[in-house]
Amino acid sequence: MNETDAAMSGRDEAPALYVRGLTKHYGSVAAVDDITFEIARGETFALLGPNGAGKSSTIEILEGYRRRTGGEASVLGVDPAHGKLDWKARLGIVLQSTGEQGAFTVREQLAHFAGFYPNPRDVDEVIAAVGLEHKAKTRIAKLSGGQRRRVDVALGIIGRPELLFLDEPTTGFDPQARRDFWTLIRNLKREGTTILLTTHYLDEAAQLSDRAGVIAGGKLVDIGAIDEIGGAEARVPIVRWHEADGTPREERTHTPGTLVAAIVERIGREPAGLEIVRPSLEDIYLELVGEAAELSHEEQAEEVAAS
């Protein structure tokens, strides 16, 4: 093994990105409150959470736009608060809001941005990858919202990034465009790109990511493989039915069939309002976020009571 290989494999073992005890205060408000996670090289990680939960603050600290108040952060081995231009050359950033120089055509804009990077992708390949071949010579101002978003994504990947930040990338996409985008992301992943994604669409997170973290109220409330988020308990099927007197009931059970049979036998007829639900990622997510919101309300109530 020569030195380069050794350096490469050494780099591969280190996580692409990690934060430990990351904190961001705006005045006395903690927008990000003691968050710890890491993303392995080549992994796609989704950061989920409601608006105002601290997703964007976290991602903007990692992109180098904002300074953290406390904790550790490392992005491709560099502290993002002190990232230089050669560090930025290894990142791709798709921001949440699109600010576009509408006066340029798609091709002009991409060709210009390609010039900033040491080893950019081919402009026409990128245009094709985001499905804008027929709009390549159209000025960006004349594109639809979804098409502009695809230009944003194209600009994010033109520099052949090792790590790609995608902040709500598919907002405004129609279902077909979203499916196309997923294909694009899977291709990038296949090429070894590490991806940090935030999204409101849980199906998107489920489709694309290896692992996910759920942020609510500035805290990381859960983290894990996308099919394990919320824990095994959260995935136990729920049986809902109405008792003979009309009282609604629900029960979690690993043996819903047996339970239903027991209910039928007990009340002596078909129970009204019967359903058996296997919680979807969305149900689990809403439960996690809901619990966190209740918790923070309780905390606030305690604080009020204490004062």
Partner 1 sequence: MSIMTTGASRVGYETKGYFRTPDAVFFTFLFPVVMLAIFATAFSSMGDITPGPGQEGVSFAAYYLPGLLAAGLLLSGVQNLAVDIAGEKGDGTLKRLGGTPLSPIAFFIGKMGQVFVTAVMQAALLLAVAAIFFGVALPTEPSKWVTFAWVFVLGIATSALLGVALSSVPRSAKSATAVVIPIVLVLQFISGVYLQFYQLPEWMQNIASVFPLKWMAQGMRAVFLPEDFEVLEQTGTWDLGGVAIALLIWLVVGLVISRVTFRWIRRDA
Chain residues in the site for partner 1 (CB under 8 A) = 26-27, 63-67, 85-86, 88-89, 91, 93, 95, 97-101, 103-104, 108, 112-113, 115-118, 139, 155, 159
CB-CB contact of 48 with 202 (8 Å)? yes
- Can you tell me the distance from the alpha carbon of 95 to that of 169, in angstroms, rounded to the nearest whole number? 8
Q: Which two tokens stand for residue 141?
A: 């101002």
| Alpha-carbon span 24 to 287, nearest angstrom | 25
Report how far residue 258's alpha carbon sits from residue 264's, in angstroms, rounded to the nearest whole number: 10
Query: Which of 85, 306 has the CB closer to partner 1?
Result: 85
Kindly state the smallest distance separating residue 21's Cβ from partner 1, in Å. 20
Cβ atoms of 21 and 70 within 8 Å: the answer is yes
Residue closer to partner 1, measured from CB, 115 or 246: 115
- Asked whether 72 and 83 are in contact (CB, 8 A), the reply is no
Least distance to partner 1, CB of residue 149, Å: 13
- Give bridge partners of residue 38 from the DSSP assignment: 18
Least distance (Å) from partner 1 to the CB of residue 116? Answer: 5
Q: Which is nearer to partner 1, 97 or 176 (CB)?
A: 97
Between 156 and 230, whose beta carbon lies closer to partner 1? 156
Buried b (16+ CB within 10 A) or exposed e, 186-197: eebbeeebbbbb
145-157 vs 175-190: helix crossing angle, rounded to 10: 0
Tell me how far, at minimum, the Cβ of 99 lies from partner 1, in Å: 2
Q: Minimum distance between the CB of residue 245 and partner 1, rounded to whole angstroms? A: 58
Nearer to partner 1, 27 or 268 (CB): 27
Least Å distance, CB 276 to partner 1, is 48
Question: What is residue 229's DSSP assignment?
Answer: T
Q: Which is nearer to partner 1, 26 or 258 (CB)?
A: 26
Q: Are 162 and 194 in contact (CB under 8 A)?
A: yes
66 vs 235 by CB, closer to partner 1: 66
Q: Are 103 and 141 in contact (CB under 8 A)?
A: yes
Strands in 17-26's sheet, in edge-to-edge order, are: 29-39, 17-26, 70-75
**Residue 263: CB minimum distance to partner 1, A:** 56
